[in-house]
């Protein structure tokens, strides 16, 4: 591709009209939503625990994409760093350390599975009915992406007490996890 066509392509991107942006957003949403739902279903049904963790990564990455689509870039980046970077690694270590303790867990408890599926379907049906009834065609205004600086201001002014509580909670959880898992 020559420089001129590349330039034309980028300038064309800049001059997207509002309607075209909407279409692009909807396509992006559809792709991410389908990927997330398929991966989530595979995660709770797969027999291999490691595969389940990797499907969880896809769901979490999709959620990060949804956050960015909603203009919440800081939450999206935090999602990638904390969830995909740290929590999934923690899960993989947990799987490794308990490996071999578990055979296949399929074919057992068919009744339990059907009951769980029924509960899940009921939860979804009730929530979907309520949501569709309440927010029938509430449109998201094409809001500006939220600024990270504003979030920082808010956390360190209005929400300073919950923020400090969260940091103490994290410390307590850390110490608690060490005490619980320490082998003596």
Told to check if 150 binds another protein by CB under 8 A, we report: yes
- The single residue among 16, 44, 160, 164 that binds another protein, judged by CB under 8 A, is 44
* x/- letters, 77..116, toward another protein (CB under 8 A): -xx--xx--xx--xx-xxx-xx--xx--x--xx--xx-xx
Give the nearest distance from C-beta 54 to another protein in angstroms.
Answer: 11
In angstroms, the CA 63 to CA 36 distance is: 8
Q: Which 54-83 residues touch another protein, going by CB under 8 A?
A: 56, 59-60, 63, 66-67, 69-72, 74-75, 78-79, 82-83
- 8 A C-beta contact, residue 32 and residue 62: yes
Binding footprint of another protein, residue count (CB under 8 A): 86
Give the nearest distance from C-beta 55 to another protein in angstroms.
Answer: 9
- Tell me the backbone φ, ψ of residue 136, rounded to 5 degrees: -50, -65
CA dihedral 167, 171, 174, 176 (to 10 degrees): -130
In angstroms, the CA 113 to CA 18 distance is: 46
């Amino acid at each position: 591709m020559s420089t001129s066509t590349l330039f034309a392509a980028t300038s064309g991107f800049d001059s997207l009209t509002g309607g075209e942006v909407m279409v692009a957003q909807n396509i992006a949403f559809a792709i991410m939503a389908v990927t997330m739902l398929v991966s989530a279903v595979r995660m709770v049904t797969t027999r291999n625990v490691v595969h389940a963790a990797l499907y969880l990564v896809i769901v979490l990455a999709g959620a990060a994409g949804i956050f960015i689509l909603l203009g919440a870039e800081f939450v999206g980046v935090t999602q990638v760093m904390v969830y995909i970077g740290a929590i999934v690694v923690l899960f993989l270590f947990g799987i490794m350390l308990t490996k071999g303790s578990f055979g296949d867990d399929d074919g057992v408890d068919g009744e339990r599975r059907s009951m769980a599926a029924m509960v899940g379907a009921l939860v979804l049906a009730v929530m979907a009915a309520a949501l569709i009834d309440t927010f029938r065609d509430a449109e998201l205004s094409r809001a500006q992406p939220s600024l990270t600086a504003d979030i920082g201001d808010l956390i360190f002014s209005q929400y300073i007490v919950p923020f400090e509580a969260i940091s103490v909670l994290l410390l307590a959880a850390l110490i608690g996890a060490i005490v619980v898992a320490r082998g003596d």
